[in-house]
């Protein structure tokens, strides 16, 4: 049970503040990550790649730079997971936020291919890698900021605040592109208007400073630090007496021999990391088909006006957003597995009507397609934070949860737009894309079944040391 289980009123206020900060941090961080996807679908093919490339090749190239961010995410999970478990959740989260804010702002300042040639896509790849590195560290910090301060029977609900950052970010990212499309002419949007959403990301740096100055670390991590300090003091005294060395020298030796949290979790729980990654591929992969590939598909294949599909994404994701906390609350009451597997099954089945409705190229049908798909996606995504964090003990929870989440992101969302584009280019039909989406859902369905069944509990249970 967490330290928040029997929290007094002042502590409850702090829990609420942590949850709202987690929501704000996740929303802005994911906003930065998502505006790249929208820009990759709308403007990057022409801006950062040679004009001689065929449109489909340029689009795949743009989506490939989009995928770089996902490849970097496990690296971020390893780096920030290590420091999050060693130094603290707050410090790791703040560092990730600052990196993301600076990298995204730099994309907004990047000259085009016409100006600096091949250096433009190369620099874009480096900055996208930095975005992926940051978001790889952000998720674990934002989630643990809420979950580790929450009562054990409400971890799903409080974890949903960080998860809710995703639909909020989708709405914000697309609204800002819609606003710029209204405020500036098409040529001006292509030339400089698209840069404004990226430049606004400097606000994330300011939020990071606020978190650093105003908030304490999580209750679970502080308890872990106190417990480890007491254990280290006792071990150092014993080692000093045994080896006839000073206590300080004994402390130094013990710290040098201490294993990395990443190595601990990889050696103890490789199966759980693999299954938790598998559990995430459906929510992540179908999500990026819904909010990223659908924009490119609607504008380039169906010839739908850009504002029409952007509004469908904004309203569809926004109207479905309440399902994130609802699904999380349900998971607190009936278990993570039941809610998650229901979402995976329904999302897999909806993959076929999704494109049938989208292909009508009419706003009501496209809105319905995206709204229902987002509802089913949120049934999986809402409980995901609590599901992953409860697998691991406090000492390597940041590392374990981050690795599972980010590896799932690579095999799910990283290649979803590229695979979707390639499937349509090969078969000239949306049906293979629906089959691909259904396949992702089948992987997650089986993974969650094996993961939760193997533990014998569906919620409120962590492996290893109780927290």
**Does residue 424 carry a pLDDT above 90?**
yes
Q: What is the pLDDT of residue 32?
A: 74
pLDDT tens digits along 85-114: 877 777 888 888 888 889 989 999 999 888
Q: What is the pLDDT of residue 224?
A: 62
Q: Is the dihedral of CA 108, 113, 116, 120 positive or negative?
A: positive
- Contact residues for 443 (Cβ-Cβ < 8 A; gap 6+): 278, 281, 282
Homologous superfamily of 9-217+259-455: MFS general substrate transporter like domains (1.20.1250.20)
Q: What is the pLDDT of residue 247?
A: 61
Q: What is the pLDDT of residue 363?
A: 96
Q: What single-letter DSSP state applies at residue 116?
A: H
Backbone angles phi, psi at 302, to 5 degrees: -90, -10
Which stretch, 128-142, 292-306, 405-419, has highest mean pLDDT?
A: 292-306
Q: Evaluate whether 340 touches 383 at the Cβ level (below 8 Å).
A: yes
Query: Residue with structure tokens 């249970």?
Result: 461
Considering the entire predicted model, what is its pTM? Answer: 0.73
Q: Give residue limits of the domains in the chain.
A: 9-217+259-455, 224-256
Percent of the residues in the chain that have a pLDDT greater than 70, as a whole number: 82
Which stretch, 54-63, 245-254, 279-288, 368-377, has highest mean pLDDT?
A: 368-377
Mean pLDDT, range 421-433, rounded to an integer: 93
User: From start to end of 35-173, where are the E strands?
Assistant: none
**Is 454 buried (19+), middle (13-18) or exposed (0-12) by CB count in 10 A?**
exposed
pLDDT tens digits along 230-246: 765 676 666 666 666 77
Cα 430 → chain centroid? 26
pLDDT tens digits along 150-181: 777 888 888 888 888 888 888 888 888 888 87
- Res. 369 pLDDT band, cuts 50 70 90: very high
- Contact residues for 217 (Cβ-Cβ < 8 A; gap 6+): 88, 89, 90, 91
- Res. 319 pLDDT band, cuts 50 70 90: very high
Q: Evaluate whether 329 touches 391 at the Cβ level (below 8 Å).
A: no
Q: What is the pLDDT of residue 117?
A: 87
Q: Evaluate whether 194 touches 174 at the Cβ level (below 8 Å).
A: no
Structure tokens at 294: 């659908």
pLDDT tens digits along 204-230: 777 777 766 666 666 666 666 676 667
Q: What is the pLDDT of residue 194?
A: 86
Q: Is the dihedral of CA 78, 81, 442, 359 positive or negative?
A: negative
Measured CA to CA, the distance from residue 312 to residue 167 in angstroms comes to 13
Cα 151 → chain centroid? 23
Using DSSP's 3-state secondary structure scheme, residue 87 falls into coil
């Amino acid at each position: 049970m967490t330290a928040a289980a029997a929290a007094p009123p002042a502590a409850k206020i702090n829990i609420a503040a942590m949850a709202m900060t987690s929501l704000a941090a996740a929303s802005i961080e994911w906003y930065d990550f998502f505006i790249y996807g929208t820009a990759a679908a709308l403007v990057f093919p022409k801006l950062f790649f040679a004009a001689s490339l065929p449109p489909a090749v340029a689009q795949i190239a743009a989506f490939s730079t989009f995928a770089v961010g996902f490849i970097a995410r496990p690296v971020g999970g390893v780096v920030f997971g290590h420091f999050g478990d060693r130094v603290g959740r707050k410090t790791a989260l703040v560092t990730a936020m600052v990196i993301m804010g600076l990298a995204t702002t730099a994309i907004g300042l990047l000259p085009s291919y016409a100006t600096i040639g091949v250096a433009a896509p190369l620099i874009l790849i480096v900055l996208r890698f930095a975005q992926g590195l940051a978001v790889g560290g952000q998720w674990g910090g934002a989630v643990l900021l809420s979950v580790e301060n929450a009562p054990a029977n409400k971890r799903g609900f409080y974890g949903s605040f960080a998860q809710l950052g995703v639909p909020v970010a989708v709405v914000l990212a697309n609204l800002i592109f819609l606003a710029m499309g209204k405020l500036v002419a098409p040529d001006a949007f292509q030339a400089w208007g698209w840069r404004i959403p990226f430049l606004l990301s400097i606000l994330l740096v300011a939020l990071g400073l606020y978190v650093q100055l105003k908030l304490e670390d999580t209750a679970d991590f502080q308890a872990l630090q106190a417990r480890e300090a007491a254990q280290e003091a006792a071990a150092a005294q014993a080692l000093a007496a045994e080896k006839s060395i000073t206590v300080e020298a004994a402390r130094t030796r013990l710290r040098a021999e201490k294993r990395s949290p990443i190595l601990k979790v990889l050696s103890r729980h490789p199966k759980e990391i693999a299954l938790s990654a598998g559990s995430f591929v459906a929510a992540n992969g179908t999500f990026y088909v819904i909010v990223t590939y659908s924009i490119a598909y609607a504008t380039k294949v169906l010839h739908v006006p850009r504002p029409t599909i952007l509004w469908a994404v904004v309203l569809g994701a926004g109207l479905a957003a309440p399902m994130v906390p609802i699904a999380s609350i349900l998971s607190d009451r009936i278990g993570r597995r039941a809610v998650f597997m229901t979402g995976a099954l329904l999302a897999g089945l909806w993959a076929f009507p999704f494109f049938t409705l989208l292909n009508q190229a009419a706003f009501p049908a496209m809105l319905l397609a995206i709204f229902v798909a987002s509802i089913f996606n949120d049934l999986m995504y809402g409980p995901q934070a609590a599901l992953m964090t409860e697998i691991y003990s406090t000492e390597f929870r940041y590392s374990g949860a981050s690795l599972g989440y980010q590896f799932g992101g690579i095999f799910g969302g990283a290649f979803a737009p590229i695979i979707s584009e390639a499937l349509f280019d090969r078969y000239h039909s949306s049906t293979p894309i629906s089959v691909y989406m259904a396949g992702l859902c089948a992987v997650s369905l089986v993974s969650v079944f094996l993961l939760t069944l193997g533990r014998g509990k569906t919620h409120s249970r962590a492996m290893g040391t109780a927290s």
